[in-house]
Amino acid sequence: MASYDGLSDIRNGVGVQQEELSLNIKPAAQALGVSLFDIGSQVKQAFFGLEAQRVQRGFDEVKVMVRYPEEQRQSMSALQNMTIRADGDELPLLSVVDIENGLTDVSSTRINGLRAARITAKADKDRIEPRVVIEDVTEQFLPVLFAKYPSVSFQLDGSALESKVLEKELLVGFCLALLGIYALLAIPLKSYNQPIIIMSVIPFGLIGAVVGHVLMGMTVSMMSIFGIIALSGVVVNDSLIMVDFINRSIAKGNDTLKAVVEAGRSRFRAILITSLTTFFGVLPILLETSMQAQFVIPMAVSLGFGIIFATVITLLLVPCLYMVLDDLKSSPTKLGSTQQT
């Protein structure tokens, strides 16, 4: 994780560790009948102390400990020069054990009874998106780790887990919102096809939101997705205005092509002003530099640039799709007339 530009304060939550001296008994000591327990006990008595007696002082009980003087308990040489008692003989410590330096865990983290290490880091979102790091680590590093250590597993936690759960909930909510928009459009229009034409601008609004983030030099964050979802309900307004005008014109007896052209000419100003007022409404948020506004700026970028991009598509795509739909409806009739002739 340290190789990613934008990550800082990377911590390995394996547990608190401290230095430790390990005593490994030599075969010669075993031949003399000295066990590692005997050696460890004598080392403990020399440096930690052996309780000789307890003295009562009022209500308190004072322990009297026998051990090396303090100055001899502060150096490594005191341990190396120590002697061990074995069957009445005194043996140098280094003749019966090997001393190794190492690290030991003072505490460890366990989740559901399993040893766990929590890896955390802080991300500078102006330089890197945390979701990108998580996906890269999950897809590139973890498979190699699991192949080397099959017993190891992983799971997301903290803000990463919350983001993952939120993404799934937003996806379900977004799909339900699209179904709701479709139903609200299909009922008054009395058509199954025209709502699709109106909602066809939603993907282009998403493109506009992404382009806006590129122009502003920002990464797509969770707040950006909130803005994109809100954008989906806003961009259909302009399409609805145009489709409704075309339907009214055709109901008056006008030709479809004439109605489409007239709708583009008559509704151009209304559609443009509707989109521009929305964009200029969020423009102060886009230009704000305070820390309080940084949280909502991605959402404003998605909404502002998405509505502008979708407006251009509305003026060009919706009339074309309406003509395509009209051609598809009239094709069976034209085909039947040709066969009769």
- Give the CATH number for residue 40: 3.30.2090.10
182 in a structural domain: yes
121 in a structural domain: no
pLDDT over threshold 50, residue 339: no
128 in a structural domain: no
pLDDT over threshold 50, residue 337: no
Range with lowest mean pLDDT among 27-41, 108-122, 206-220, 269-283 = 108-122
Cα separation, 186 vs 200, whole angstroms: 14
DSSP assigned state of 72? G
Between 198 and 108, name the one with better pLDDT. 198
pLDDT over threshold 80, residue 10: yes
- Give the number of domains in the chain: 2
pLDDT over threshold 60, residue 247: yes
Q: Specify the 3-state DSSP secondary structure of 92.
A: strand
Look up the CATH number of the domain holding residue 264: 1.20.1640.10
Question: In the prediction, which pLDDT does 341 show?
Answer: 46
Between 139 and 156, name the one with better pLDDT. 139
Question: In the prediction, which pLDDT does 16 show?
Answer: 64
- pTM of model > 0.85: no
Q: Work out the average pLDDT over 38-42.
A: 88
Considering the domain architecture, whether residues 221 and 317 belong to the same structural domain is answered as: yes
Each as own residue / partner, the long-range contacts of residues 60-65 (CB below 8 Å, 24 or more positions apart, any chain) are: none
Q: What are phi and psi of 216, to 5 degrees?
A: -85, -5
Name the domain boundary from 73, 106, 139.
106
